[in-house]
Amino acid sequence: MDLLQLSITLIASMFSFLLFARLAWIRTGVHRSRNATGKTVPEASGSLPIIGHLYLLSGSQVPHKLLGSMADKFGPIFTIKLGVNRVLVVSNAEMAKECLATNDRVFASRPKSMASELMGHNYANFALSPHVSYWREMRKIIVLELGSQHRVQMLQHIRTSEVKASIIDIYKNWMRNNKGSSETVKVDMKHWFGNLSLNMTLRVAFGNCLSLGEQKEDELKNTIRSILQLFGAFVPSDAIPALRWLDLGGYEKRMKQTAKAFDVVIDGWLEEHRKKMSCTQQEDEGEHQVLMAALLSRIKEEFKENLYGFSTDAIVKATCLAIFVAATDTTTVTLTWALALLVSNPVVLKKAQEEIEKHVGRDRMVEESDLKNLVYLQAIINETMRLYPAAPLSVPHESTEDCIVGGYTVPKGTRLLVNIWRIQHDPEIWEDPFEFQPERFLTSKKEIDVKGQHFELIPFGSGRRICLGISFALKAMQMILANVIHAYDFHNPLSEKIDMTESFGLTNHKATPLELFVAPRFLTDFYRVSP
């Protein structure tokens, strides 16, 4: 069967190659006639027929580091071939600025993918939608309902309650295991961060609708994790479309099943919110804080009769899914790396704890009003995102017309990858770029922030496609990290250093769990739990 599948694959691939080679030849001729004097972007050597440079991605090195090594050889701007797709790779701040600022409008679109089609309700997912009128309308709504300072403030109670509940859960676990002794308890903090981020995001999107029962709630969380995994998977037919009918790896089948499982739950929540909204003309303030209800209301107001070919349900479900993918995974990734770095650098951890005690004290948890004073903590998070950006390669962009980048002509339809990891480890910008030095954001780099205007540090991206949840994400990460290192001491249970291996995927997860010995730092009253 393996030989048969290989034979079919080769036949299909050859057909695909002949077809697309012809189309590419025609398109190249058009571009050459339009830009006879333009320079062609250098292409990395080693491209093979049909697959291009895809074979390079099958090695043990994660893609952002592989492309970083290629940038050392070919320069800060070069192209590669991923199947039939030509991809522009930029690897320094100057080239990133040209793409995401100077040519922001040109590169504002997204390429098509199987995941966006099957799990994003046929591109109703605004984060992965092409740069069309629908995307522009949805962007306005998301800015108002998630990204504005007013909305971030309104959601404060969710962040606060979820963080406090999770902090207390660790204490209860410690009590059960040690019966109040001063010993430690082992906790997988990567898993803990993941559950906290997921619970927080679910409440932001759906409010208090999570009356599913423990089994169904676990099923939902597993479904969401599957969605996150599938969005980051390499799908062969995205590179060579003619292979889609083979469904190599079973991705199409899995995506359809996962999307259906997610819809079963979310359809029930949609109906609940519709019933609540129909019972009163004026929704209460609490209802407005739920993203799903806000979307139902906003879409009705803003879109009028034109839904751009989508149903209201499809738009709401796809948008909620986009929030899950953007918020849950990236927050977990950043906090896991941050704590791993702190435990590996106990002097930095101690300094952060002392800053919190100075401004908060030892008798209460950190409140959001305290965060503005915790500048060293903010520097730690900035340095973590510099060293381990949650998305080390930008979500792909696609050019909608010819443009000039770095003096080279970039044809319409070219895909763009910004190597954020390489930019944020550039030795020409960052002294000791591989060292964990939060102090740099209080001294030599104190003017640099992560909000998309300083291209030396763009973990959230930049331009029209910048992450719209920056303010919410920063508040959540600061609140979680401040409270957990204030409430607990952490120690590595192993004699060797913490494993800092990175994993493959859309987001840059720590490849292994982060199991640490945890012990409370304060007396029982701090945790408001009876012994």
HEC profile for 74-142? HCCEEEEEECCEEEEEECCHHHHHHHHHHCCCCCCECCCCHHHHHCCCCCCCHHHCCCCHHHHHHHHHH
Say how far apart CA 294 and CA 40 lie, in whole Å.
47
Q: Which two tokens stand for residue 344?
A: 């590996």
Q: Which two tokens stand for residue 277?
A: 């909204």
- Provide mean pLDDT across the span 315-321: 90
Q: Which two tokens stand for residue 158?
A: 């969710």
pLDDT of residue 281: 52
Q: Label residues 350-362 b or e (16+ Cβ within 10 Å = b).
A: ebbbebbeeebee
- Residue 278: how many other CB atoms lie within 10 Å: 8
Report pTM.
Answer: 0.90
In sequence order, which residues have a C-beta less than 8 Å from that of residue 282 and are 6 or more positions away? none
Q: Which residue has the higher pLDDT, 59 or 488?
A: 488
- Provide mean pLDDT across the span 516-524: 92
Q: In the structure, what pLDDT confidence band is assigned to residue 412 with cuts at 50, 70 and 90?
A: very high
Q: Which residue has the higher pLDDT, 19 or 149?
A: 149
Say how far apart CA 209 and CA 325 lie, in whole Å.
20
DSSP 250: G
Share of the chain above pLDDT 70, in %: 87
| DSSP states along 479-513 | HHHHHHHHHEEEE-SSSSPPP--B--SSS--BSS-
Q: In the structure, what pLDDT confidence band is assigned to residue 470 with cuts at 50, 70 and 90?
A: very high
In whole angstroms, what separates CA 16 from the centre of its chain? 32
pLDDT of residue 202: 86
pLDDT of residue 223: 85
pLDDT of residue 9: 47
pLDDT of residue 253: 96
Beta strands in 411-464 (DSSP E): 415-418
pLDDT reading at 383 higher than 80: yes
CA separation, residue 302 to residues 121, 229, 276 (Å): 20, 33, 20
- Residue 255: how many other CB atoms lie within 10 Å: 23
- Provide mean pLDDT across the span 501-515: 92
205-219, 239-253, 411-425: least confident range: 205-219
301-305, 370-374, 514-518: least confident range: 301-305
pLDDT of residue 288: 53
The answer to whether the beta carbons of residues 73 and 89 sit under 8 Å apart is no
Q: pLDDT tens-digit profile of 61-120?
A: 999 999 999 999 999 999 999 999 999 999 999 999 999 999 999 999 999 999 999 999
Q: In the structure, what pLDDT confidence band is assigned to residue 182 with cuts at 50, 70 and 90?
A: low
Q: In the structure, what pLDDT confidence band is assigned to residue 25 with cuts at 50, 70 and 90?
A: very low
Q: In the structure, what pLDDT confidence band is assigned to residue 280 with cuts at 50, 70 and 90?
A: low
Determine if residue 209 is labeled as part of a ligand binding site: no
Say how far apart CA 236 and CA 405 lie, in whole Å.
29
3-state secondary structure of 530: coil
Say how far apart CA 206 and CA 320 lie, in whole Å.
9
pLDDT of residue 494: 85
- Provide mean pLDDT across the span 360-369: 95
Q: pLDDT tens-digit profile of 417-468?
A: 999 999 999 999 999 999 999 999 999 999 999 999 999 999 999 999 999 8
